[in-house]
Amino acid sequence: MLGAFVPQHISAYFNLLAENKKITKSALLNILIKDWYLENREIWDYADLLKEKQHSIQLEWKVIKQNKDHVSFDSFLERQYILLVKKIGIKDTELIIKSIVE
């Protein structure tokens, strides 16, 4: 599920376009997002995005270690897991966490 706030002029344009094309705003947005996805999925490969997130988590852990914060690696990963599950779902979160611990 996606949601976004857009400036009023964009919202008005979008509403008018949907009305004139006799389709729902949801259907129009779906068309636009699918087109964007098809154009960009090779630029931002899914596997590469997962690796990028893994890398950013590992960098965050290095910063925590350097600052000598009293956080265990397990509790750090648990916090990351909880945050990611809400954003990207269980399957991808488990792939990312698994790749970090291996």
In a domain, 1, yes or no: no
Closest by alpha carbon to 81, among 102, 97, 58? 97
Tell me which residue range forms the domain holding 57.
46-101
Say how many domains are in the chain. 2
Report yes or no: 28 and 18 within 8 Å, Cβ to Cβ. yes
- pTM exceeds 0.95: no
Q: Are residues 35 and 58 in the same domain?
A: no
How confident is the model at residue 51, as a pLDDT? 95
Q: Show the tokens assigned to 52.
A: 């990028």
Q: Are residues 57 and 72 in the same domain?
A: yes
How big, in percent rounded to 5, are the helix, strand and coil portions of the chain? Answer: 75, 0, 25
Q: Are residues 69 and 94 in the same domain?
A: yes
How confident is the model at residue 50, as a pLDDT? 95
Report yes or no: 46 and 92 within 8 Å, Cβ to Cβ. no
Looking at the predicted structure, is the pLDDT value of residue 102 above 90? no
Looking at the predicted structure, is the pLDDT value of residue 66 above 90? no
In a domain, 18, yes or no: yes
Q: What's the CA gap between 24 and 17, in Å, rounded?
A: 10
Q: Are residues 67 and 35 in the same domain?
A: no
Q: Show the tokens assigned to 55.
A: 């890398």
